[in-house]
Structure 1
Amino acid sequence: MSEWRTDEAKASAGGRLLTFAAWSVLVLGLWLWGRELTVAPAPLSGQAGGALSAGLPAAHAPVAGSLPQRVDVPSIGIQAPVVSRGLDKDGAIDPPPYDSPGTVGWWGKGVQPGAAGTALMVGHVDTRSKPAVFYGLSSAQPGDKVRVVRADGSVAEFTIEDVRVYERAAFDAHKAYGPRVRGRAELRLVTCGGTYDKAAKEYSANVVVSAYLTGVGVRPGTSV
């Protein structure tokens, strides 16, 4: 049993923790990134941010890949370091450690934010005692900006196009993680959502924020 699952077993019955079941659903979409799929998700009930908004900015052409270092979502107060994560021994995305609740995990075997394809970032919604980095993710709105500071000194700016809650009981990896437009640079921010079952110690759904690249800037004091 991995360390974070052992830690979960020690939590009190009333503690709200992400579980293996909650994280393992993320793995269902990993195979999509090796394939050029074009997916146009149908509207789902339970959307957190409403229907896809018209009048969003045009997409920026993808740029060369560079490792993400920080992600900012100014509209909901997120400013967090990013660490690369792989899979644990059970085949699920290894989330950031519980002792780093303010850290976001990036699927390091996948697309680098800003490059063509879909980059994935995951974060905890809470810990045993307090909210975590993506606690307010479901309140993001279409049109909000997501800025990813990259190792080459650039800042990739994404625009959120929708926010959805996908029930795990009917989870569709194509709709959640598949690229919306072929050749576009896209980003997904993912955390747990829905209702929390204290007995099962798991959430019923995942919140998935979908965004696409709309600009590239330079971090102050950096030349690229």
Structure 2
Amino acid sequence: MAARLSSLIEPEPVPPKRGFRRAVTWTVWSVLLLALALNLLGGPGRPSADSSTPGTAAAHRQSAMGSSGRHLPRSTPTRLLIPKISVDAPFTTLSVDSAGKLDPPPADDTNLVGWYADGASPGEAGTAIIAGHVDTATSAAVFAGLSELEKGDKFKVKRADGRTASFVVDSAETFEKDDFPDKLVYADTPDAEVRLITCAGDYDHTTKDYTENLVVFAHLM
């Protein structure tokens, strides 16, 4: 499956205390070139860790995932359930704006997650992107407890086709936004994987953005 997001990511200022990174940037040509490179190299479609990525964490994910090819048909996600951190939230679809940046979920709803609808759906082969705010200008939000997830924790995604996709966490990692490992997070995979993404680190009042991103890597059980 061709990669759906490029290896480019840039910080975009957000209103104070809104915990979602609005900065996913992509181009059609970079997507096509990445997919072509993966096909020509004959690799499994999973990017290796780069110099900014902890190699041990990447190796753990590779070992845990294998290459089973297990996946479900495409279907719109309807609800995210993460019992450990008391998340029971509906989905909204996310898309890119005219500048090529991914719009975040609405900040006025603290119990809402967004799914990048032009990417893989949760349970479908590929990398499904699920994003949510850690907080808003007024209160904590849906992914306030995301940093509590650890390897082995489980969560579920209810889907429009009536199926429930169950996932297990492989790792939870924090990356500086200025040194974000784009390929590791966004490149497509042959297996059904999910990335749960929110903001982390300190809030920079100068840039009006958080300094880090928290990414939870998980695969379909």
Same fold (TM over 0.5): yes
Q: Place the TM-score, normalised by the shorter chain, in its bin.
A: 0.7 to 0.9
48, 64, 72: which is aligned to 1:40?
A: 48
Q: Give the distance between the partners of 2:108 and 2:159, measured in 1 at CA.
A: 24
Displacement of 1:41: 2.8
Matching residue's letter, 2:92 = V
> How big is the shift at 1:84?
1.0
Unaligned runs of 5+ in 1: 9-14, 215-224
- Structure 2 length as normaliser, TM-score? 0.77
The answer to whether the 8 A contact 2:14-2:209 is kept is no
Q: Distance in 1 between matches of 2:49 and 2:113?
A: 25
Instruction: State how many pairs are aligned.
Output: 197
Q: Is the 8 A contact 2:60 2:170 kept in 1?
A: yes
Partner letter of residue 75 of structure 2? S
TM-score, length-normalised on structure 1?
Answer: 0.76
Distance 2:58 2:200 in 1: 16
Give the secondary structure class of the aligned counterpart of 1:23: coil
Amino acid at match of 1:210: F
- Structure 1 residues 87 and 55: CA distance shift in structure 2, 3 A: closer
| 2:208 paired with 1:207 | no
Q: Residue 92 of structure 1: CA displacement?
A: 1.1
185, 193, 198: which is aligned to 1:186?
193
Give 1:218's aligned residue. none
The percentage of counterpart residues that share the same residue type is 33
What is the CA-CA distance between 1:101 and the residue it aligns to? 1.9
The whole-number CA distance in structure 2 between the counterparts of 1:102 and 1:27 is 25
Distance 1:53 1:120, change over 3 A: closer
The gaps in structure 2 that reach 5 residues or longer are 1-11, 39-44
Trace 1:136-215 onto structure 2 (pairs within 5 A).
Answer: 136-179=145-188, 182-214=189-221
Tell me, in whole angstroms, the C-alpha distance in 2 between the residues paired with 1:6 and 1:60: 38
| Residues 6, 206 of structure 1: alpha-carbon distance in 2 compared, 3 angstrom cutoff | closer
| Aligned AA (1:23) | R
CA RMSD of aligned residues (A): 3.2
CA contact (8 A) 1:32 1:177 kept: no
* Partners of 2:69 and 2:190 within 8 A in 1: no
Q: Distance in 2 between matches of 1:106 and 1:152?
A: 16
